[in-house]
Structure 1
């Protein structure tokens, strides 16, 4: 991958998007054709996510209930299960994509019994994901998540950070106490993933201190793989471990998750600029206002177009609320949105190729395919 963006990627040539004749083609957000199958795919994924929440939430809540009071309060609030005063709430705890990938990978390679035995591992992955969210919100000073105030804005930095630390410890504790023979390997893999996640977050924070012309597209893609793709890959790999898969199949599932994770982040970055705040739960243009160097922005800056120069000037000067619309238009005119959509499709093509190495039969991979497509069709 070069740091220029202008040449579209031929995804059919580089990596087939299909697993056998029955597999579906993934489309990035905004690129769907409106076919009824698209809606059916979305409903399938939503049902998988609903079943995942039903499987993991009881053990997840039991784990949180064992935390000391202040950390328990902040964690339960973060998951949407309590109001700030401790009274019960019915807010959403997130999409549960990562635990869904654990369970789907286990089922694809080992059947329903393997899926059932992987629930504790799925909970551990969800705990690690939310550890990163609690910490990221503090570091990024994000004020809203899931349509409500972030934990640090309610309980303060210290309580939010300590709650995140506790979630990470709970995750590794769950795997340490799991009698499944794959648990030690899963714990080691998840611990390594946490280090990679921290490295990705460090790189992301360091990039924010550099000028708009000093950031290459390749290094932002590397940072994104560490910060987002790593945990999705780890989730899939842990599911494969719990199914007793070979080392080659575990690695193939990790590669599938990493590439799908990059597609996920590309679409997330598109939504962060052009999404509807009523659906996203975040203010419009928050990442642009914070001068975050998201993938569409860096691609636009690297385009060498007049709009790229305009965008660089906007990013280099103090922020004015009236600059938001101009910045959005500059990113789009410089090709950032189009590049991100094409790149998301290419990453999904690579994900499909990796998946086909471990699971060539499309009927066994249906749940993984549905989840992968869900992340590139979503609007929030």
Structure 2
């Protein structure tokens, strides 16, 4: 049966072939521009397949495919991988949905690569041994691949676990009022319309809690202020229409809803949001109890729309965090999937309204 995958899944194979063909990967700045004088030579890419583990070693101008104990299985010029990568990129750009690429699949089978996605139980998509020219050290690193070849990639997925619960204060709503608000279902801006309807009746949303205790604990472990900060980001997005986290951070820095001491210009909100984004990017998942360790300990590989691959290495943490902070934005997920954006009358008579937290990268 032919392999089929979407643009993002084929993008992982493109990354493998492109990196092996070029033998190095350049660092990127916060605006997705290549830093010409900063690159990392690739020593080896390690891949797990159902059939076993395989190492793709760069040697002179060849790629040598080996077993983990060093037995050579195949040797090909690196230029072959580059040609295959360019042909794959063309096919990805010409297709939509789930599709097969027979020519690429044939080459994959030749190089002992039989699946679109390497085996992984965490956020690591590819494991690479890189040479750091500054420290002269070779280090094995796990990277998460984010592709721009399809739609914007997700940094933190929407789910029931990412629901934030708000109480409706300052108003008494009848069952008819609740039914009316919940019936508002325009094609666009459903959440905004429902929140505005609550405000028009005199109601106010006041943050109550993060619904999922695991996500709540993960956030508190990172920073005890994060649940309240995220709640204020969600409200600010509704009030202003702004979606980028950098701009939202600037807005709540001005209003200072948590009452930080602003006599000094400490970037309280930006710092805490960057810490959250980094943790979500490299290890933390909402519905899984997190131990604080990063799975993708190398950072991110970004596949740009033109096929260029940029490295955001965790060793350059400031640059990595600036990239995330400059490119992350809030997206409203489907209200039919995650049970949010409806007024719920609780058993104690209080009224709840849920907003969902989802983050994507431009």
TM-score for the superposition, normalised by structure 2:
0.25
Q: Which has the higher strand share?
A: 2
Q: Which has the higher helix share?
A: 1
